[in-house]
Structure 1
Amino acid sequence: MTDSVLIVEDDKDIADLIRVNLAELGVEVSHQDQGNKALSLAIEKEYSLLILDVMLPGISGLDICRQVREKKPHQAIIMLTAKSSETDRVLGLELGADDYMTKPFSVRELQARVRSQLRKVEMLRAANSDVMAENDAPLVIGNLSIDQKNHQVTFNQQVLELTATEFELLHHLASHPNQVFSRSQLLESVWGYHHSGYEHTVNSHINRLRAKIETDATSPQIVQTVWGVGYKFSPQGVE
């Protein structure tokens, strides 16, 4: 199955640059420069990945991200933000973007980010189509079950609605209980790249994951912070 990418960008030169370089990856690329039209397309059609600029005619990329995430929890989304706009980057991640890139950006870096997201999409497809091995048993720790075959997380008999990236982040941490990972290590293992300056991506996903799994996200017992180092999964928190 050929992957499809929707570029939502009102700067034609940037959109053309992205289109040409994604074509090298063998994906089908569509482009929309109007926010409202892009939102309709993103909801009505099935795209492997959305690349959303923040500033758009009509509604913003942030609004598109929020509304798409509500209707399609597993949709892969990369936000494009201005280099100086820290607020947009943080808000984009908090609203559910899987990753972000700041303009101007390296096309090679863009390709790497896109490949990383498409790998997650392929894993999700495999889970949904029973391609994964029948003996691929869920990872069970206490009252937490992480089922890769069905791409499902159950905690205290409740199914958690996680994005593909949140799922991979939790699975990676839980697969190495009590091991502390730095933000850079998590970027490399979960997102598939390491670029300095993007550590906030990890912070925001940890916050979103805690909001879904912790009894009190302000006092996390499962995904814990090791100050000055990074994060770890505590098995005691799920018993």
Structure 2
Amino acid sequence: MSYKILLIEDELMLAKLITYNLTQEGYELKHQENGAEGLQAALDEPFDLILLDLMLPGMNGFEILSKLRQKGNRTPVIILTARNAEDEVVEGLKLGADDYVTKPFGVAELLARISAVLRRTQKDEFVVKEKTKTDEKVVVIGDLRIYPERYEAEIEGESVLLRPKEFEMLLYFAERQGMVVTRDDLMNIVWGFDYFGGQRTVDVHVSSLRKKLEVGRRTVQIESIRGVGYKLVHHTSTAKS
């Protein structure tokens, strides 16, 4: 499978180096050097990953990232930032970046981070993706329907009231139905790499989400995998109570 990557970077020599090396590894690259044009490309075409520089002409990387997430675009993003720019990294992760690489970086490091992010965010092939009449994406697992663009979910047509973090966890679980998700994965994806809270925070949110999913219903459940994490399962033959 050839992954399609959007590179938004105004340093042309660096962009050429990245494009060459990733193409050699089998990735399909599209390069934009202007921030506003990069944002438009990200919204117009489906990409598996975005490599995003922060200091760009036209629109900076923070604005691009913020607008993408506001519009419901969940394409994984790796930000490219200057060495010792800790504040930039923290801000980028808070806005929804999945990882970061500090300049100057080696090709091997970049490839490793790209591979890791793609593994974490790869869509599960058994999750049904549909479109509503308004062309809105909806993720369907049994009686559960998730609307990523609205941050809403429902079971058997009944709305499930979720807090933002609970919704993000549910969507992450749903895209990996049947796969084990570690506490570290949830911490990094939902809270961000800059979060210093403990895994207890994850457990509390999972417990709350589990109760909301399973009250009076047993087709979709979150199972605990002792010492590892959790996974979302769909029991098609289990009767509802």
Say yes or no: TM over 0.5. Answer: yes
Q: Equivalences for 1:223-238 in 2 at 5 Å? A: 225-226=197-198, 232-234=202-204, 237=208
* 1:198-237 deviation per Cα after TM superposition (whole angstroms, max 9, x unaligned): xxx93x84269x9xxxxxxxxxxxxx944xx886513655
Matched, 1:45 2:45: yes
Q: Distance in 2 between matches of 1:45 and 1:236?
A: 37
Q: In the alignment, what sits opposite 2:172?
A: 167
Match of 1:15 in 2: 15
The separation in 2 between residues aligned to 1:165 and 1:91, in whole angstroms, is: 24
The range that moved more, 100-109 or 111-120, is 111-120
What is the TM-score of this pair, normalised by structure 1?
A: 0.61
| Kept in 2: contact 1:9–1:52 (CA 8 A) | yes
Would you say 1:206 and 2:191 are equivalent positions?
yes
1:236 and 1:125 map into 2 onto residues whose CA distance is 26
Matched, 1:32 2:32: yes
Q: Which of residues 150, 158, 161 in structure 2 aligns to 1:158?
A: 161
Moved >4 Å (runs of 4+)? 152-156, 159-166, 229-232, 235-239
Instruction: Indicate the larger mover: 42-51 or 69-78.
Output: 69-78
Alpha-carbon distance between aligned partners in 2 of 1:84 and 1:20, rounded to the nearest angstrom: 27
Larger radius of gyration: 2
Q: What is the percent sequence identity of the aligned residues?
A: 28
Match of 2:117 in 1: 117
8 Å Cα contact 2:53-2:79 kept in structure 1: yes
Letter in 2 for 1:167: Y
SS of residue matched to 2:91:
helix
Deviation at 1:56, TM superposition (A): 0.4
Alpha carbons 1:79, 1:92 under 8 Å: kept: yes
Between Structure 1 and Structure 2, the one with more strand by share is 2
> Hey, what's the Cα distance between the residues in 2 that align with 1:115 and 1:165?
23
State the alpha-carbon separation in 1 of the partners of residues 168 and 105 from structure 2.
25
Question: Offset at 1:121?
Answer: 4.5
- How far off is 1:89 after superposition? 0.7
Q: Which has the higher helix share?
A: 1
The structural deviation recorded for 1:157 is: 1.6
Q: Encode CA deviations 1:94-140: one digit per residue, 9 max, x unaligned.
A: 1111111111112112111111222344324552459xxxxx989xx
Q: Which runs of 5+ in 2 are unaligned?
A: 131-140, 147-151, 212-241
Deviations 1:36-71 (A, max 9, x none): 111111111111111100000111011111111112
* Distance apart, 1:5 and its partner CA: 0.5
TM-score normalized by structure 2? 0.61
Separation of aligned partners in 2, 1:41 and 1:9: 13
Does the aligned pair in 1 maintain the 2:35–2:59 contact within 8 Å? Answer: yes
Task: Give how far 1:158 is off.
Answer: 2.9
The farther-off stretch of 49-58 and 109-118 is 109-118
**Count of aligned pairs between the two proteins:** 186
- State the alpha-carbon separation in 1 of the partners of residues 52 and 2 from structure 2: 20
The amino acid across from 2:191 in the alignment is I
Go from structure 1 to structure 2 and tell me whether the alpha carbon gap of 1:231 and 1:163 turns closer, same or farther (over 3 Å shift): closer
